Amino acid sequence: MARILIAEARFYAHLNDMLLAGARSALEQAGHSHETITLPGALELPGAIALAAEDRGFDAFVALGVVIRGETYHFEIVAGESARGIMALTMDGLAVGNGILTVENEAQAIVRADPAQGDKGGDAARAALALLALRQRFVS
């Protein structure tokens, strides 16, 4: 049984509730334990995961959040930099499932976040577990 950290950006709490439900369900169905930490926004997710990885108590990580396009360039910065940060952690050998939704509007986010529809939270958890299995196969 692996120990998984779910790091969630609660900027859109009602959307994150759905992502979180999907991620937790996927991890529990696979027989793994999890802990959740909450952060203000998606930009903080890679840093928080990097800090948590230092204690070596977690086997894999799931990053959850929602970034909705607005009227300014801020969307591009948050979407791009959070994805870049998650990818950098993965390239450094951490098993991280990226469940940060980047969407045009709330309706798109609902479809993707809802476990009964897109289940992107569950997909992110399953991605983290797949990367963990690969790391155990190739690195251990």
Which residues does the annotation place in the binding site?
11, 42-44, 66-68, 71-72, 98, 112
| Binding-site residue set for (2S)-2-hydroxy-3-oxobutyl phosphate | 71-72, 112
> DSSP E strands: which ranges in 51-105?
60-68, 96-103
* Residue that is written with structure tokens 């950006």 in the block: 9
| Binding-site residue set for 5-amino-6-(D-ribitylamino)uracil | 11, 42-44, 66-68, 98
Q: Is 74 designated active site?
A: yes
Are residues 61 and 49 in contact, defined by beta-carbon separation less than 8 angstroms? yes
Q: Angle at Cα 34 formed by Cα 77 and Cα 37, nearest 5°?
A: 40
Choose the catalytic residue: 14, 32, 34, 74.
74
Count Cβ atoms below 10 Å from residue 127 Cβ, excluding itself: 20
* Residues known to be catalytic: 74
